[in-house]
Amino acid sequence: MLEQAKKVRVMIFDVDGVMTDGRLYYTDAGEELKAFHSLDGHGLKMLQQSGVQLAIITGRTSTLLTHRTKNLGIDLVYQGAHDKLATFEQLLLDTGVTAQECGYMGDDVIDLPIMRRVPFAVAVPNSPTIVRQHAHYITGSQGGSGAVREVCDLIMQSQNTYDAAMAPYLR
């Protein structure tokens, strides 16, 4: 699993169930609310600073997500992706990388077409059984509760960039 993570140049994340706990909250006015974990956000920033490009592919469209990804500095954001595999192929064209240089983290069957094409596929523990069966790594943490951070740290450890990322905090 560390060998597979070592080759990741672009790490792609689903949102609902991965960056969030998967629950959808709506106000009486119809506004959507989501909770993102701050540990995940800092992990994403450190992973990006280590040289790994970040991307989002999600089936839903949300202004809220636009704000979150802007705050994190994630430029490759594909929302409303009902055919995630076609969107993944577009991402490969947009970035000039191959599928063998990508990792993907998802939580449901809509994520399987991408998970089956990358060498580093990650699922959260509450994913359906079939999704976990196609994952190379299953996080110990649930989506929205530090699972993304766990994967960011794992990638940095496998690429020998973790110690450099931690050095400013250990002075």
Chain mean position to CA 166: 21
Q: Is the pLDDT of residue 32 over 80?
A: yes
3-state SS class at 128:
coil
Residue 119 in any domain: the answer is yes
Q: Which two tokens stand for residue 153?
A: 């740290």
At residue 1 the predicted structure's pLDDT band, cuts being 50, 70 and 90, is low
| Cβ atoms within 10 Å, residue 159 | 18
- How large is the average pLDDT for residues 12-16? 97
- Look at residue 135 and tell me if it is in a domain: yes
CB of 146 within 8 A of CB of 42?
A: no
When the pLDDT of each residue in the chain is averaged and rounded to a whole number, the result is: 96
Tell me the residue range of the domain where 8 lies. 2-164
Residue 83 is assigned to a ligand binding site: no
Average pLDDT of 106-127?
Answer: 98
pLDDT bracket for residue 2 (50, 70, 90): confident
> Residue 149 has what pLDDT?
98
Q: Is residue 67 part of a domain?
A: yes
The total number of structural domains in the chain stands at 1
Instruction: State the pLDDT confidence band at 137, using cuts at 50, 70 and 90.
Output: very high
Structural domain contains residue 14: yes
Euclidean distance between CA atoms 43 and 150, whole angstroms: 8
What's 13's domain CATH number? 3.40.50.1000
38-54 mean pLDDT: 97
144 in Cβ contact with 22 (< 8 Å): yes
Residues 123, 167: Cα–Cα separation, whole Å: 29
| Residue 170 lies inside a defined structural domain of this protein | no
- Residue 128 identity: P
